[in-house]
Structures are given as C-alpha cells and as structure tokens.
Amino acid sequence: MSQLHVINHPMIQHKLTIMRKKETGSKDFRELLKEIGLLMGYEVTRDLPLRDIEIETPICKMTGKEISGRKMAIVPILRAGLGLVEGLQSLIPVAKVGHIGMYRNEETHQPVEYFCKLPEDIHDRLVIVTDPMLATGGSACDAISSLKKKGCANIRLMCLVGVPEGVERVQREHPDVDIYLAALDERLNENAYIVPGLGDAGDRIFGTK
C-alpha cells in the first residue's frame, strides 16, 4: 500500500491558510502556491539516494555527497497543476517537465484527457505528478495510468489539499504511488468540491471563472 504523507510544516500551514481565504487574489495565490511547491519538494525528494564524490574546497580535498544518478520529471495535470511546477523547478532545475491535460465533465464529474506531451525518456525518470486538489481522485488516477502505460514505474503524487475519498481511490488503484499533501480536508460536497478546500484552484491561479 502506498504511503500518505501530510506535510504539516508551520510555514506550509501558514501559507495555505492565506490561500484558503476567499479575498486572496490571483497574484498572491500564485506566489504562495509556488512557495509551498518548493517547500513540499523537500519532503517529496527526502529519500533520494546519494553517493560519495571527491571534491576540493578552497581549503582542502573532501568527500561530499551528490544525488545518485536519479533523473526526474515533473508532470502537472493541466491546468491547475502548473501552479506547483515553478517551485519544484527551483529545487530541481534539471528536471524535465511533461504535461497531461484533463478537464472534469460537469455532469459526470469524471476526468477527460485532451492533451499529453512527455519527455521521450519519461520511463527512466522519477516522476512527480502535480495537481493542487485531490478531490475524487479521478484525474490523478487517470494521469498515473497514462504514465504507467508509457513505462513509468516510479511515480509520486504531490497535491496541495486532498480528501479521504480521493486518497482512498488513488491508493486502491495505484498502491505503488505515494501521496504528498499539505492538508487532508474533511470531505467532498454534492458538487465534488473539497470542503473546506479553497475553491477552484485553476480559476484562482489564473483569475478565471
């Protein structure tokens, strides 16, 4: 079974509270999401393997550490997942970025894929899938399934806010994919929105309705 990691660092919780406020505008929302993406990235990459490397400082030679050959990719679920990419890229500037486009059918609440563009060697990389909201889990599960069809075997899901329903679905359908959240909220309402949540993340990022 996959692991659920709820990252309750004080700075993340503080910034998330500001994002939840309905009066927070798009500019501040985007900047806070970028900052939280960077902070969450530390936990998502905490267990990356290291190897010894001999270097020379201005003072002497020494044995340092470097990440052991792990290539990475960031794959946002469009469009809201883009909001977490810049923060992760600040931490992992060599990571390649793919994109998976999905929208939610307003009647069935099910995700529909309309775009997929990935690095050619995506199957050789540790893939971090980003989406601010883990609601029903449909988009996340479909995106992960699409990546697995292309040979990806090492995938992590990073979301800002989730609910038990979404977590349970991802863990049921993809028990090999660990989930990273900044907060686990209460439930979904009748329109499949997260409660208390923060509204439609895509609209709040881009200033649309």
Q: Catalytic site residues?
A: 104, 108, 200, 203
d(CA 78, CA 114): 10
SS3 content of the chain, % helix, strand, coil (to 5): 35, 30, 35
| SS3 of residue 8 by DSSP | coil
- Among residues 143, 163, 178, 127, the alpha carbon closest in space to that of 4 is found at 178
Question: What are the residues whose beta carbons fall under 8 Å from the beta carbon of 17, sequence distance 6 or more?
Answer: none
d(CA 83, CA 30): 6
Direct distance between the N- and C-terminal alpha carbons of the chain, in angstroms, rounded to an integer: 38
Helix intervals (H) in the chain:
10-20, 26-44, 85-91, 138-149, 164-173, 201-206
d(CA 175, CA 30): 31
